[in-house]
Chain A
Amino acid sequence: MSYIQGETGDWEIVIGLEVHAQVISNAKLFSGAATAFGAEPNSQVSFVDAAFPGMLPVINEHCIEQAVRTGLGLKAQINLHSVFDRKNYFYADLPQGYQISQFQQPIVGKGEIVLDLPDGSSRTVGVTRLHLEQDAGKSLHDQHPAKTYIDLNRSGVALMEIVSEPDMRTAEEAGAYVRKLRSILRYLGTCDGNMEEGSMRCDVNVSVRKPGAPFGTRCEIKNVNSIRFVMQAIEYEARRQIEIIEEGGKIDQETRLWDTTKFVTRSMRSKEEAHDYRYFPDPDLLPLELDAEWVEDIKKTLPELPDDKKARFISEYKLSPYDANVLVSEKARADFYEAVAKGRDPKLAANWVTGELFGYLNKAGKEIEESPVSAENLGGLIDLIADNTISGRIAKEVFEAMFETGERPADIVEKKGLRQVTDTGAIESSIDAVLAANADKVAEFRSGKDKLFGFFVGQVMKATQGKANPALVNEILMAKLKG
């Protein structure tokens, strides 16, 4: 447990998250309209999405399947009977005047998410529920000095709202939760997790208490759209609340916003101003009844999820939990690693992938999918090390060229003449030249200054432009020095 130090002692933060994840689907939740991001405003709107008179919603079965798949991925209870409700409120970008959502009977019940913390440890956070709902449209306030424009492309797009238990205690845990949830959703192919495009958004519930005390009054920070902001907002909000309480004040339950320019949370509306959503079952839709067998069939198609993959990487490839974590956090990374490791030393493969490759990608701001070095080529590079064509040191130079050009390692080695020298005669003559030129140091070595061995190795490698096989150099050099 890590606590925040206040004037009056330690404070514990209590955090619960509501994540809105856009379902990967070509069509909206209740209309056939398309869902692609970035389309011309109001070009993906059906009469249903624009709430024209007499229009009716019809459930998109694919979205239901995606929600069930997600529920199964969260090891959650799938409710075979669920109900769509109307959440009533007026807003310009909510054409129906209500959002179709699920209130009392969601499609997915209790589940869990295992957090992988930076120190390699794990912690389980409860998932309260997952329900399906429609997204609203978008209000564009910056297109005209006095008018607001409405883009209904997003109106009706399927969202999964995934609600956690108030199980998190630090901003890092909250960050780890969102990362892990995003990873699971991506593995499942049910949400692309792209927070910049708004396909994943967070409402963060924060309260503080003295350790062991009952829960404090919480504030909800709405619509936070990056993991960094989630963590910053929690840190700020917790300190704000502690300060108020320590100064003798009390926390008002309210909805707040994260100001991304001033790095503070601001009040959006108080409990008194909170909407009365007047939820009631949507009479245009019958209760959703799922077939247990259908759910079982979906279960059979689930991919290996990060937790299982991590366990397998640890047992099968003998990787450290840390390396396994780094590799399984994204399916594409894990797949890349396995392609490299196949038939090769898995630890060496892990070192190259998490070390050189991720380092270079990170510097270049590239995703693994955009890597100029293919898994096949990285594997090829490791093979060149294994068969002594090049040394580990030369390999790093080759890798740099591979990352720049995308060329095959063998071609680069050939072109640059980096092939390792294993001809003992050639190495011997290089060593003889080095020893002759440094007779004084040879004498010092022989009189007991062992440390000079490294100097000689360096000189020999320099003379051979690094291409001499290091093992051979060591062996012959030692023999000659001692001889």
Chain B
Amino acid sequence: MTGLTHLTMAAALDGLAKKEFTAVELTEAHVKAVETIRPLNAFITETPEQALAMAKASDARRAKGEAGPMEGLPIAVKDLFCTKGVLTTAASHILDGFKPEYESTVTSNLWRDGAVMLGKVNLDEFAMGSANITSHHGNVISPWSPGEVGNWSRQIVPGGSSGGSAAAVAARAALGATGTDTGGSIRQPAAFTGIVGIKPTYGRCSRWGVVAFASSLDQAGPMTRTVEDAAIMLRSMCGFDPKDSTSVDMAVPDFRAALTGDIRGLKVGIPKEYRVEGMPAEIAAIWDQGIEWLKQAGAEPVEISLPHTKYALATYYIVAPAEASSNLARYDGLRYGLRVEGASLKDMYENTRGAGFGKEVRRRILIGTYVLSAGYYDAYYNKARQVRTRIKWDFDEAFKQCDVILTPTAPSTAFAIGEKMDDPIQMYLNDVFTVPASLAGLPGMSVPAGVGSDGLPLGLQLLGRPFDEETVLRVGQVIEKAAAVTATPPFMA
């Protein structure tokens, strides 16, 4: 059946419920789509047999009247989630051949609710990157790249680190995908590929079984083509997990029920510090447009101040590498993954880690090691922790005046591979709007809002109070409907 891969999750659930098609048919269409989009290099591992087996089991459950909330929906899994018996790479050479004996809590939750796994999708190595150009398994190409498939005139990046997830969902090879967001890794690629991506409040999704980048920031979330789909998938991913000490023991709301469209009287904060110098005109324009849409829907824009915004990026690029330098110490060639022998233990470490980690990962390990070193700890890491607290306070203050905050997701549309690559700082600037909410642990979502002059998608970001994903989703859907973006990627399955 054609057209199945262009459905939303909500429509697919409908079709499955009405027996218009089976989970096996839906999955077969997606397995084929995964093959079709291979030129994008979105998948590291395709699992068609597992997908079909899961689909079959799903149809059986549905026949018995035991359909779960995501019953029969084929999705892609970012290759940072450990999946039992299936290669898990974190897009790094150092995890060569690693097949976990365990399944991450988030993916377990998804399978519990009936979802079907199509495969493991590409990402920046250890989720470190904003363009999906640091993967050991090659760059991911955005389906928005202009020109002939495989012979594009510009190879547009899908954003990162969840670039494979974004490309697969945008190119209609999966109804949704899991992402992880440490400083914007769900929201920025969602914006770059014209899809929806939400990072819930830190603690909503268990980190158990997710390869760690920066533990105090890492948070899983869904990437889908509509806000409603994000609500469906988020509900399945969330939930308290006693195996993660930072997981929060709170009931998971029915996020879909929050999508009432009614935002009358809601106060929408517009942070003045986000009007950064040199912001492209079309970014400023789409932001203004967003404010206008929300006003028309009955919300009230209020100017707010987040005074420590300008320190957020620097803070993030101290805290995240510091944690990463320690989290990645376990990749030592001793117990799993790559080992490059050496004459001594030290040589083996150096050979293994030198060969196993790519340039960006090595850079961040060095930065992190440096900022935690004796004599530098107070000036860097400790100071960054203090600033992080201030940034959190900024948001606490702001949310006394507003219910949700609206900003652009990224400072530009997607760029092409080769651009912004000489200077890592230039690349880090991509995260300028997403990082503050990560540091504060707040829920944040990117929603497609339009298309730039280059024909590439533009996203708007909504930030909410801790554990108030419902308002974020509700307001997001209002923007989604008002924007009514019809543009689609030139290359779709």
Identify which of B53-61, B307-315, B325-333 touches chain A. Answer: B325-333
Given contacts A53-B90, A54-B82, A58-B242, contact A97 B329 (CB under 8 A): yes
Q: Does A283 contact B (CB under 8 A)?
A: yes
A446 to B215, CA, bound (A): 100
B168 sits at the interface (CB 8 A): no
Please give, as numbers and ranges, the residues of chain A lying within 8 Å of B336 by CB-CB distance.
52-53
Min CB distance A118 to B, Å, is 43
B102 contact set on A, CB distance < 8 A: 47, 52, 54
Question: In angstroms, how far is the closest chain B Cβ from the Cβ of A141?
Answer: 11
How many whole Å from A199's CB to the nearest CB in chain B?
26
Q: How far is the CB of A86 from chain B (nearest CB, A)?
A: 5
For residue A90, which residues in chain B have a CB less than 8 angstroms away from its CB? 329, 332, 349
Q: How distant is A95 from chain B, measured CB to nearest CB, in Å?
A: 6
Chain B residues near A52: list those with CB within 8 A.
100, 102, 335-336
A20-71 CB contacts (< 8 Å) to partner B:
47, 50-59
Q: How far is the CA of A88 from the CA of B325 in the complex (A)?
A: 9
- Among B90, B322, B330, point to the contact of A96 (Cβ < 8 A): B330
Quick one: which of A86, A278, A283 contacts B369, CB cutoff 8 A?
A278
Q: Contacts A97-B329, A280-B322 given: A53-B82 contact, CB under 8 Å?
A: yes
B195 within 8 A of A: no
CA distance A54 to B211 in the complex (A): 4
> Which residue of chain B is the closest to A286 with respect to CB atoms?
B245
Specify the chain A residue showing the minimal Cβ separation from B370. Answer: A278
A-contact 0/1 string along B16-30, CB 8 Å cutoff: 000000000000000
Write out the residue numbers on chain B whose beta carbons fall within 8 Å of the beta carbon of A278.
325-326, 369, 372-374, 377
| Chain A residues in 8 Å Cβ range of B374 | 276, 278
Among candidates B209, B326, B377, residue contacting A54 with C-beta atoms closer than 8 Å: B209
How far apart sit A444 and B455, CA to CA, in the bound complex (Å)?
135
Please tell me if the beta carbons of B335 and A53 are within 8 angstroms of each other in the complex. Answer: no
- A280 near B381: Cβ-Cβ < 8 Å: yes
Instruction: Provide the B205-222 mask, 1 if CB < 8 A to any CB of A, else 0.
Output: 001111110111000000
Chain A residues near B242 (CB-CB < 8 A): 58
Cβ of B485 < 8 Å from any Cβ of A?
no
Verify B335–A51 contact, CB threshold 8 A. yes
Please, what's the 1-or-0 string for A184-205, where 1 marks a CB less than 8 Å from any CB in chain B?
Answer: 0000000000000000000000
Residues facing B in A141-167 (CB within 8 A) are 148, 150
Closest A residue to B368 using CB positions: A278
Task: Give the distance in Å from the alpha carbon of A92 to the alpha carbon of B344 in the complex.
Answer: 11
Contact residues, B234-262 vs A (CB, 8 A): 242-246
Q: Once the chains bind, are B211 and A283 in contact (CB under 8 Å)?
A: no
B100 x A53 contact (CB < 8 A): yes
Q: Name the residue of chain A whose CB is nearest to the CB of B334.
A: A92
**Whose C-beta in chain A lies nearest to the C-beta of B335?**
A50
Tell me the smallest distance from the CB of B202 to a CB of chain A, in Å: 11
Q: How far is the CA of A194 from the CA of B322 in the complex (A)?
A: 38
Q: A98-B329, A280-B372 are in contact. Are A56 and B334 (CB under 8 A)?
A: no
A161 to chain B, nearest CB (A): 20
CB distance from B294 to the nearest CB of A (A): 35
Q: Within the assembled complex, what's the spacing in Å between the Cα atoms of A148 and B98?
A: 23
* Chain A, Cβ-Cβ closest to B95: A53
Q: Which residue on chain A has the smallest CB distance to residue B241?
A: A56
Asked if B211 and A285 sit within 8 Å, CB to CB, the answer is: no
CB of B323 within 8 Å of the partner chain: yes
Contact, CB under 8 Å: B334 / A88: no
A10 within 8 A of B: no
Asked whether, in the complex, the Cβ of B243 is within 8 Å of the Cβ of A283, the reply is no
Within 8 A of B (CB), among A345-397: none
> Roughly how many angstroms separate A88 CA and B332 CA in the complex, as a whole number?
13
Contact mask for chain A residues 402-417; partner B; CB cutoff 8 A; 1 contact, 0 none: 0000000000000000
Candidates B101, B211, B215, B330; contact of A97 at CB < 8 Å? B330
Find chain A residues with CB under 8 A from B210 CB. Answer: 54
Q: Does A289 contact B (CB under 8 A)?
A: no
Taken residue by residue from 358 to 384, chain B's Cβ proximity to chain A (1 for < 8 Å, 0 otherwise) reads as 000000000001001110010001000
Residue from B82, B88, B215 in contact with A283 in the complex, judged by beta carbons closer than 8 Å: B215
Tell me the bound Cα distance from A263 to B211 in angstroms: 48
Interface size of B by Cβ–Cβ distance < 8 Å?
Answer: 43
Structural contact, A88 and B372, CB atoms closer than 8 A: yes
Closest B residue to A90 using CB positions: B349
Tell me whether B427 is interfacial, beta carbon within 8 Å: no
Question: What chain B residues lie within 8 Å of A276 (beta carbons)?
Answer: 373-374
Q: A283-B323, A285-B245 are in contact. Are A54 and B330 (CB under 8 A)?
A: no
Tell me, in angstroms, the Cα distance from A50 to B245 when the chains sit together: 18
A 233-254 contacts with B by CB, 8 A: none
Chain A's nearest CB lies how many Å from the CB of B146?
Answer: 37
Contact residues in B for A59 (Cβ distance below 8 Å): 245
Chain A minimum-CB-distance residue to B333? A92
A283–B323 CA distance with the chains assembled, in angstroms: 8
Interface pair A88/B245, CB less than 8 Å apart: no
Chain B neighbourhood of A55, CB < 8 A: 208-209
Most buried by B among A59, A279, A284: A284
- Considering only CB atoms, which chain B residue lies closest to A53 in the complex? B211
The contact of B334 among A57, A86, A150, by CB within 8 Å, is: A150
A86-B326 in contact (CB<8A): yes
The distance from the CB of A102 to the nearest CB of chain B, in whole angstroms, is 15
CB distance from B328 to the nearest CB of A (A): 8
Tell me, rounded to whole Å, the shortest Cβ–Cβ distance linking B90 to chain A.
7
Given contacts A47-B102, A52-B100, A278-B372, contact A96 B329 (CB under 8 A): yes
Residues 80-125 (chain A) with a chain B CB within 8 angstroms: 86, 88, 90, 92, 95-98
Cβ of B279 under 8 Å from chain A: no
B11 within 8 Å of A (CB atoms): no
- The answer, among A95, A150, A280, A283, for a CB contact under 8 Å with B330, is A95
Q: Which of A53, A88, A280 has the most CB of B within 10 A?
A: A53
How near does chain A come to B116, taking the closest CB pair, in angstroms? 22
Complex Cα spacing A55 to B304, Å: 40
| Known pairs A90-B329, A276-B373; A283 contacts B216 (CB<8 A) | yes
> Which residue of chain A lies nearest to B215 when distances are taken between CB atoms in the complex?
A283
Given the complex, which residues of A lie within 8 Å of B104, measured CB to CB?
54
In the complex, what distance in Å separates the CA atom of A341 from the CA atom of B82? 64
B276 within 8 A of A: no
- Chain B residues lying within 8 Å of A56, measured Cβ to Cβ, are 207-208, 243-245
- Check A97 against B332 for contact (C-beta < 8 Å): yes
Q: Which of A53, A92, A284 is the one whose CB lies under 8 Å from B215?
A: A284
With A54-B208, A56-B243, A57-B245 as contacts: A95 and B373 at CB distance below 8 Å:
no
Select B101's contact among A47, A86, A96, beta carbons within 8 Å.
Answer: A47
Q: Which residue of A lies closest to B212 (CB)?
A: A54
Q: Which residues of A contact B95 (CB under 8 A)?
A: 53
When distances are taken between beta carbons in the complex, the residues of chain A under 8 Å from B215 are: 283-284
Cβ contact within 8 Å between B330 and A51: yes
From B323, B330, B345, B373, A53 is in contact (CB under 8 Å) with B330
Most buried by B among A50, A55, A286: A55
Contacts of A57 in B (CB 8 A): 245
CB-CB under 8 A from A58, the residues of chain B are 242-245
Which single residue of chain A is at the shortest CB-CB distance from B247?
Answer: A56
For B212, what are the chain A residues with a Cβ–Cβ distance below 8 Å? 53-54, 284
- Measured in the bound complex, the distance between the Cα atoms of B211 and A47 in whole Å is 13
How long is the Cα–Cα vector from A90 to B349 in the complex, in angstroms? 9
Q: Can you spell out 17 A-B residue pairs with CB atoms less than 8 angstroms apart? A: A52-B336, A53-B88, A54-B100, A54-B104, A58-B244, A59-B245, A88-B326, A97-B326, A97-B332, A98-B329, A276-B374, A278-B326, A278-B369, A279-B372, A280-B322, A280-B381, A283-B214
7 new A-B pairs (CB below 8 Å) besides A95-B330, A285-B246? A52-B335, A53-B100, A56-B207, A56-B243, A86-B326, A150-B334, A284-B245
Query: Chain B: residues with CB nearer than 8 A to chain A?
Result: 81-82, 88, 90, 95, 98, 100-102, 104, 207-212, 214-216, 242-246, 322-323, 325-326, 328-330, 332, 334-336, 345, 349, 369, 372-374, 377, 381
Please list the 7 inter-chain residue pairs (A to B) with the smallest Cβ-Cβ separation, ordered nearest first. Answer: A97-B329, A283-B216, A278-B372, A283-B215, A51-B330, A54-B209, A53-B211
